[in-house]
């Protein structure tokens, strides 16, 4: 009979340990999921800021090209033609 009691005690001890580990891992998982969400939000914000900065840079390049038209008119004409083609594509898409 003592062997059965020892087995039950051992089983109870192992179950207690298992439940404690489960609880700990569940809490750790919740913390990690929260961190992942925070990092995903940060990545989204940084991507948005990056895209804004890229657009500002592109516009600045266009402005500098147009501003420098006195020195390099061929490049400026090419840039203006590219912009006109982009505008034409937008107009076509709007008319569809």
Q: What is the 3-state secondary structure (H, E, C) of the chain?
A: CHHHHHHHHHHHHHHHHHHHHHHHHHHHHHHHHHHHHHHHHHHHHHHHHHHHHHHHHHHHHHHHHHHHHHCCHHHHHHHHHHHHHHHHHHHHHHHC
pTM: 0.54
- Chain centroid offset of residue 40 CA: 5
Mean pLDDT comparison of 8-12, 17-21, 82-86, highest-scoring range: 17-21
Q: Tell me, what's the pLDDT at 77?
A: 77
Residue 59 pLDDT > 90, yes or no?
Answer: no
Residue 28 pLDDT > 70, yes or no?
Answer: yes
């Amino acid at each position: 009979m003592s062997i059965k009691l020892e087995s039950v005690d051992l089983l109870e001890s192992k179950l207690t340990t298992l439940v404690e580990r489960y609880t700990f891992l569940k809490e750790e998982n919740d913390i990690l999921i929260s961190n992942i969400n925070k990092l995903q939000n940060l990545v989204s914000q940084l991507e948005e800021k990056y895209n804004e900065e890229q657009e500002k840079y592109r516009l600045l390049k266009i402005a500098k090209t147009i501003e420098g038209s006195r020195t390099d008119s061929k490049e400026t004409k090419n840039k203006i033609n590219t912009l006109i083609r982009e505008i034409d594509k937008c107009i076509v898409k709007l008319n569809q």
